[in-house]
Amino acid sequence: AHLDRIAAVDGAVHAFLHVNADEALATAADVDARRAAGEDLPDLAGVPIAVKDVVVTKNQVTTAGSKILEGWIPPYDATLVEKLRATGMPILGKTNMDEFAMGSSTEHSAYGPTRNPWDTDRIPGGSGGGSAAAVAAYEAPLAIGTDTGGSIRQPAAVTGTVGIKPTYGSVSRYGLIALASSLDQAGPCSRTVLDSALLHDVIGGHDPRDSTSLPERAPSYAAAAREGSGGDLTGLRVGVVTELGGEGYQPGVRASFDAGLAQLREAGAEIVEVSCPSFSAALAAYYLILPSEASSNLAKFDGMRFGLRVEPSEGPVTAERVMAATRGAGFGPEVKRRIILGTYALSAGYYDAYYGSAQKVRTLIQRDFAAAFEAADVLVSPTAPTTAFRFGEKVDDPMAMYLNDVATIPANLAGIPGISLPSGLSDDGLPVGFQILAPARADERLYRVGAALE
Ligand code: GLN
């Protein structure tokens, strides 16, 4: 049914870069046979899923939205993909994204943008717009995203779906094509909180192949979601972050956020105001740390080891000239911009002024969160300052695009978990996201509170 739905709507939505119908059907048939034979299978066995194209899949093309990886077939599966397969989840295909997960709209995909199913003249968010749109358009009940600065939560917000960025280290990064290794985290996209919790239970857990993987296995997130669905939040302290939600937020987004707060109060939660003064520097710190790490991670695309190789049209074929020609042809403008920014910020003469300062800001942000979580059990804000914008509106103005991440970035800098929940429609008729943040390793709070608000 999902493959039929993809055939019917994906021409208009373009959520998928590759669809793997034969493999998905074979997995489904295998699950059916095992179930018929009386085997006791996991909850999500047979439930199809879409996977963001930044996650490597054995024997299936993986491009990360880039021309430099066009046609590249990985020889191995990411740990999380191994877990999906072991659970018996048919992988429908790979979803579109901004090139190497750099962007907030999918307009930086080398293969053309994904369209928002609510209004196909508008962006589906980014970088994981393909995963969110696939879920919103009923092409897949579940999807995998990755969130380095908001790429699961902001697409969820603008497509009216649920997206979770787990605690850093909760889901293995082995087999994610790295953007910024200290920020990257894979997580679930779905239509309900319980669905995301069930998926997080499948993909989470320690992995010896990821050196930053958390040592202990998480408790059951699905149990937390089921517990929360009763709707009683008596005694929960909810902190509204002063710095996230004021100036620059669309009035319709603020109105919907206020309605969410009223719902929390009705459920018995106590609302307090908390201030995180260092958040004003979060965006600047992120856009130094991310390009620095990305410039190092992307150095492996040298025309020799993976994907595209372009030889210079004239002159000698040296390693350096092959690298230059390959990268010149294979990387898009946003990727080039960030590599230049990152190598500059890391260069000997500027390291202390830029990268070093950004790391200090990161510590201040972690301290702000620590103080805020003394006063509140969870923090809340709108997920993004605006509803889905139109194609072309921000693509030529990097600052305007970067500002869309203002509310999601602090969580990545601190490694804490966050969820974006649908919170009704703005006065423009488009979905708005309500963000809840919890302390590191307290992801179950997101599921409990999220399910109570659904
Ligand atoms: N939009 C942000 C950026 O461009 C977030 C990216 C992400 O989370 N992968 O960096």
pLDDT digits (tens, 9 = 90+) for 379-433: 999 999 999 999 999 999 988 899 999 999 999 999 999 999 999 999 999 999 9
Parallel, antiparallel or unpaired: strands 378-382 and 431-437: antiparallel
Mean pLDDT for the stretch of residues 143-155:
98
Question: Cα(125)–Cα(192) distance, rounded to whole angstroms?
Answer: 19
CA proximity to 178, closest of 282, 293, 74? 293
> For 304-325, what is the mean pLDDT?
94
pLDDT at 348: 87
Decide: 147 in ligand 1 pocket, CB within 6 A: yes
- Can you state the angle between helices 79-87 and 193-203, rounded to 10 degrees? 110
Question: Residue 216's pLDDT band (boundaries 50, 70, 90)?
Answer: confident
Q: What is the pLDDT of residue 149?
A: 98
At 438, the amino acid letter reads: A
SS3 state at 414:
helix
Q: 């790490």: which residue's tokens?
A: 293
Separation of alpha carbons 148 and 384, rounded Å:
15
Q: What is the pLDDT of residue 366?
A: 98
Sorted by where each starts, the structural domains of the chain and their CATH numbers stand as 2-281+359-453 (3.90.1300.10), 300-358 (no CATH)
Which numbered atom of ligand 1 lies nearest the CA of 180? 9
Q: Which residues are catalytic?
A: 52, 127, 151
pLDDT classification of 247: cutoffs 50, 70, 90: confident
Residue 178 near ligand 1, beta carbon < 6 Å: no
Q: Which atom of ligand 1 is nearest to the CA of 147?
A: 8
Question: 281-306: per-residue pLDDT in tens?
Answer: 999 999 999 999 999 999 999 999 88
| Percentage of the chain lying above the pLDDT 90 cut | 96
- Binding site membership of 179 for ligand 1 (Cβ less than 6 Å): yes
**Chain-centroid distance, C-alpha 86:** 23
Ligand 1 center from residue 149 Cα (angstroms): 5
pLDDT in tens, 47-78: 999 999 999 999 999 999 999 999 999 999 99
> Would you say residue 217 has pLDDT above 80?
no
pTM above 0.90, yes or no: yes
The minimum-distance atom of ligand 1 relative to the CA of 104 is: 1
pLDDT band for 368, please (50, 70, 90 cuts). very high
Q: How far is the CA of 127 from the centre of ligand 1 (A)?
A: 6
The reported pLDDT for the residue numbered 400 is: 87
Pocket test for ligand 1, best of 100, 108, 144, 405 (most atoms within 8 A of CB): 405
Q: Which residue CA neighbors atom 4 of ligand 1 most closely?
A: 103
Tell me whether strands 378-382 and 237-241 are parallel, antiparallel or unpaired: parallel
Distance from the CA of 183 to the center of ligand 1, in angstroms?
10
Say if residue 347 is preceded by a cis peptide, omega within 30 of 0: no
